[in-house]
Structure 1
Amino acid sequence: MDQQSSDQAPEGAPGAAPGATPGATPGGASPGAHGARSGAAAAPPRDPSAASGPGSDPDPGSDLGSDLDRTATADVRLGALSLPARIIVALTVGALTIYAAAHMVMVFLFVAPENHVTQEYGDGMREYIYPEFEQSWKLFAPNPLQRNVAVEVRAETRDGEGGRDTTDWISLTAMDVENIEHNPWPSHTAQNELRRAWDFYTGSHTETGGEAVGLRGELSEIYVHRIALLRLDQSGLVDVDDIVRIQLRSATTLVPAPEWRAEDLDTSTAYYELDWWVVTSRDLPSGVLAPDDDDQASGQASDQSSGGGQGEGQGEGGER
């Protein structure tokens, strides 16, 4: 009997008692009982995919998991907004989109050739475009500007003894350049007001005699001279209250040709002087706030006639 028991022992698990059930622990205890007693029973391995919740990354190294994380984060951020906040965001985005589309349409119609739409709504488009969104094609024209034009002024003033003094030529363009250089946000006035006023003047006067063409020519004369007085007042170089009359001129200098071109250009400065302009109280920076002064205007007109009249400037300078 002892020999049979020893021969049958190898049939079971090593060290198993005879007659023990497969998987039973020594002493006849079941695995569940043993786990209950020791509290150290090994749990089956968890499935990583099953443990992953919504929005978790099944593979930290995959792009799919990163996209899922970003989408979930965006959903959470948008979902955190209240209903009024969502409405405000939607209205803001919609308003900006509509404005951007309308702006592009206005600019396109402004630069497009004349058509029925521009004829019908041209005034409204110009009011929107000028001055902030003005479009100019001179930079890309076949013959862009190849000259520098400066506008200069001099003034005749009353001195303390009842006499008259004449200032040197003062460059109004240099004042604008000084306000523009090293300024990341230069004003539209400094960039374009004087230039546009001079273009307005030259475009509304004849090239030969310099005579005003219609009402636009007369308005351009008042406009450009009042800008000159305003700049003199802002600079503090001259007391505008003592100014009797002023004279404007343009100084035009051609831009030299590049080294690789054989053009021989005359880069000397050419001047074009306007007539003397008698200053009245309405021409001063106070403008329409100044009362009418007919006596002053008539007195200055007599001063002008005694000084040689409006033709003096052209006789002295002119285009040369």
Structure 2
Amino acid sequence: MPERKRDGAGMDAYDEEPEARSGPVGPAGARRADSPGAPPEAAEAGATEAEGTGPRATGLEGTEAGATEPGGATEPAPRAGLAALSPRYRLVAGGALAVVVAVAAVHLGMVFLSLAPANTVSKRHAKAVEGWVYPEFEQNWKLFAPNPLQQNVAVQVRAQVRGGDGEVRTTGWTDLSAEDGAAIDGNLLPSHTQQNELRRAWDFLGTTHGTDNRPVGVRGALSEQYVRRIVVLRLRRDEGVDRLGTVERVQVRSRTVNVTPPEWSREKVSTAPAYRVLPWWTVTGDETEAGAR
């Protein structure tokens, strides 16, 4: 504020502003660069602007920041993902994605029909469902059953072999389940054959035979042939019975042992093994040849 003074006539008078005494004032009240009282830095800046070489004159600030291009046009952002592909490749990628989604939907539907209670759809398309699901995608509920499996079942086999001298020799019992277990133990990617072939074959035989070990119906005879082919193949491959002669008959048995209950359980079970011994089966010529191959 200007300093107010009182003159001799008693009237108030004001001193002039310091800037007014030191030079002319610019448009916004700022001192002009060429005024006598301006500092040297302001004079140099004013000279630069006047010559048109400063940042405002050349527009370098906007160019360096990448805000706009010359002429005021904004540079578009680069595309990413599918948008970066050409229309042809976007069409191919979309088609591949549609195929994957369709296959996943069909697979989930087939598995659902195989697990769901029997209904009109599952009965009408039973063959298609079984062909899709079994054996690779088989599901079951044994883990959640009221009485899950609490036994270890081992399938064993022995054979009668006729040697070159005409004498028939009987081999010892071979534990085929133990061989499968040894092949699976420590194997990150065990084969489906090692895990399920022998086990499923024995389950199939047990459900198609009576307590007297006699087959029930056509499926019983089929299960015997299936198990017989498996054991002959395994004998010739693992035991090398070819050195002894020709396999004429085989006998299969199961050894079942109850799983020991945990320490905190009060349940008492017998851990003595129980055997189920099947009668001797005669090996046919085609089964012997299949085992040799």
TM-score range, shorter chain: 0.7 to 0.9
Structure 2 unmatched runs, 5+: 1-14, 25-29, 37-42, 70-76
User: How many Å apart are 1:135 and its aligned residue?
Assistant: 0.9
Aligned: 1:261 with 2:258:
no
Aligned: 1:231 with 2:231:
no
- Match of 1:304? none
- Match of 1:139? 143
- Whether contact under 8 Å (2:247, 2:288) holds in the other structure is no
- Match of 2:127? 123
Paired amino acid for 1:14: S
- Whether contact under 8 Å (1:233, 1:285) holds in the other structure is no
The answer to which structure, 1 or 2, has the higher relative contact order (CA under 8 A, 6+ apart) is 2
- Match of 1:271? 275
CA distance 1:148–1:39, shift in 2 (3 Å): same
- Match of 1:86? 90
Aligned: 1:25 with 2:28:
no
Q: Percent identity?
A: 42
Which SS does the other structure have where 2:230 is aligned?
helix
Paired amino acid for 1:230: L
Task: Identify the match of residue 35 of structure 1 among 48, 71, 77.
Answer: 48
Separation of aligned partners in 1, 2:31 and 2:156: 114
Structure 1 unmatched runs, 5+: 1-6, 55-71, 291-320
User: How many Å apart are 1:42 and its aligned residue?
Assistant: 5.9
User: How many Å apart are 1:270 and its aligned residue?
Assistant: 1.0
- Match of 2:215? 212
User: How many Å apart are 1:86 and its aligned residue?
Assistant: 0.7
Pairs within 5 Å for 1:44-55: 52=67
CA RMSD, aligned part only?
Answer: 3.5
User: How many Å apart are 1:198 and its aligned residue?
Assistant: 0.7
1:129-155 Cα distance to aligned partner (Å, 9 max, x none): 001110111111010001011000011
- Match of 1:307? none
CA distance 1:141–1:51, shift in 2 (3 Å): same
User: How many Å apart are 1:34 and its aligned residue?
Assistant: 2.8
User: How many Å apart are 1:79 and its aligned residue?
Assistant: 3.1
1:251-277 Cα distance to aligned partner (Å, 9 max, x none): 000111111122221111111111111
| Larger-gyration structure (1/2) | 2
Separation of aligned partners in 1, 2:116 and 2:17: 104
Which SS does the other structure have where 1:212 is aligned?
coil
CA distance 1:32–1:183, shift in 2 (3 Å): closer
Q: TM-score, normalised by structure 1?
A: 0.71
